[in-house]
Amino acid sequence: MYLIAALIGALIGARTAKKRKGAILDVAFYATGYSIAFGLAALIFTLIIHRNFL
């Protein structure tokens, strides 16, 4: 689940940088940042569900 969220975040980040007419390093930076943020959000979400409902 974390990997899927991280990949979705990378795609969204890369698309955002491309839309803002960023250079290739900007695209990589945005993809990395979004990937980390989405992966961390998925981890926290999974932990909350696991602790409260399982």
**Domain-wise residue ranges, the chain:** 2-53
Task: Kindly state the tokens that stand for 24.
Answer: 């290739």
**What does the pLDDT look like over 1-43, one tens digit per residue?**
899 999 999 999 999 999 999 999 999 999 999 999 999 999 9
The pLDDT of residue 54 is 79
The pLDDT of residue 53 is 87
Q: Which residues, other chains included, contact 25 with Cβ-Cβ below 8 Å and sequence gap of 6+?
A: none
- Nearest one of 4, 7, 1, 3 to 31, comparing CA atoms: 7
The pLDDT of residue 5 is 97
Helices 24-53/2-19 angle, 10° precision: 150
The pLDDT of residue 32 is 98
What one-letter code names the amino acid at 37?
A
The pLDDT of residue 33 is 98
Task: Kindly state the tokens that stand for 53.
Answer: 């409902």
